Structure 1
């Protein structure tokens, strides 16, 4: 089971990870976008961090909804609506819950994918965050179906997200600012796929590291 306390710890840790990786994410974005992905993600999750002390008695759905509203209101560019929709979509399936079964966590991952598709109208191979999130969700479900524990399934999801992130390097972007570059967008790692990978990796490490 993934508890509410683990979710809050994950979000706190993720704010630190995105702060540490702000320059890296913005460097990736500078090659094919506006160069502000790291700045925007850090700004949004620092705002989320300020909300966390007030969320200790909320259910997980309420926590995700607060994260969504905070990101939408504080993150510029496409990242705010995309990450905001991701958390909003997943909040709908976990209302009233203070802990998640492995199957319910799988539903959260699937909701992330559906939220990004709904908001960004992206397909696999378009060189977006979906290229990390969709393989991660598929790998998680496959691992559970083969009898893996929730933590083992998250490990498989993170490995798939990392591979998906790296697979964006040769792709030509078909969505967002990067698509304006055409063939010149190839040979650059997608910043959104990278921040999505960091989000999943931090979740897995938080859950695995909890007593």
Structure 2
């Protein structure tokens, strides 16, 4: 993955998060406080506002700079969680000018471990990890289309889980029956990346 392709992916994530502000907020309002969509959208708007000024020395540096903006601009618990994901992915990328598929998977695994530590959560706690981890495994095994399918199936499956972390954890059994907003956000974002990836054409 080149620098331009890295930019493409992050921009798709940002624009999709903004477009889905109401949807993500509605999902979160079932058992959370409903601010997830708003927080995510405002944070990624800030990222796009300063888009041209982000350091593009290499993909890793770019992702770390994105992580800093996200951490400082997204409200609530989402900022540190999503920001940590970008920061850890960027750190794992090192100073490579281009990233192999294996490096991208390693970056995602680093992001997952960072999110686990920051959120004191794990797969099975009904968080974004429940979509991010299976998506990463599918990406490693079968590529981007498979990753999108895995993320959607995993996000849908969170409806049967009881939340153990975040605001939703206070609702206990009442959290069963609704999908986790963070997990569904991962699914929607990865689906959009998979759909639009062919459009970036010669982004190398």
State the partner residue of 1:189: 179
State the partner residue of 1:170: 160
Question: Superposition pairs for residues 73-92 of structure 1, below 5 Å?
Answer: 73-92=72-91
2:150 to 160, 163, 173: 160
Question: Superposition pairs for residues 95-174 of structure 1, below 5 Å?
Answer: 95-143=94-142, 153-174=143-164
CA contact (8 A) 1:140 1:156 kept: yes
CA contact (8 A) 1:32 1:177 kept: yes
Residue 72 in 1 paired to residue 62 in 2?
A: no
Separation in structure 1 between the aligned mates of residue 108 and residue 56 of structure 2, nearest angstrom: 23
Separation in structure 2 between the aligned mates of residue 51 and residue 7 of structure 1, nearest angstrom: 16
Distance 1:56 1:123, change over 3 A: closer
Shift of 1:56: 6.5
Give TM-score scaled by structure 1 length. 0.89
Distance 1:208 1:115, change over 3 A: farther
Shift of 1:18: 1.3
Detail structure 1 runs of 4+ shifted over 6 Å in the superposition: none
CA contact (8 A) 1:6 1:206 kept: no
Separation in structure 2 between the aligned mates of residue 23 and residue 193 of structure 1, nearest angstrom: 16
Shift of 1:40: 0.4
Separation in structure 2 between the aligned mates of residue 107 and residue 43 of structure 1, nearest angstrom: 28
2:193 to 192, 198, 203: 203
Task: Name stretches of at least 5 consecutive residues in structure 1 with no aligned partner.
Answer: 144-152
State the Cα RMSD in Å: 1.5
Distance 1:98 1:172, change over 3 A: same
Task: Name stretches of at least 5 consecutive residues in structure 2 with no aligned partner.
Answer: none
Separation in structure 2 between the aligned mates of residue 38 and residue 98 of structure 1, nearest angstrom: 33
Give TM-score scaled by structure 2 length. 0.92
Separation in structure 1 between the aligned mates of residue 194 and residue 3 of structure 2, nearest angstrom: 15
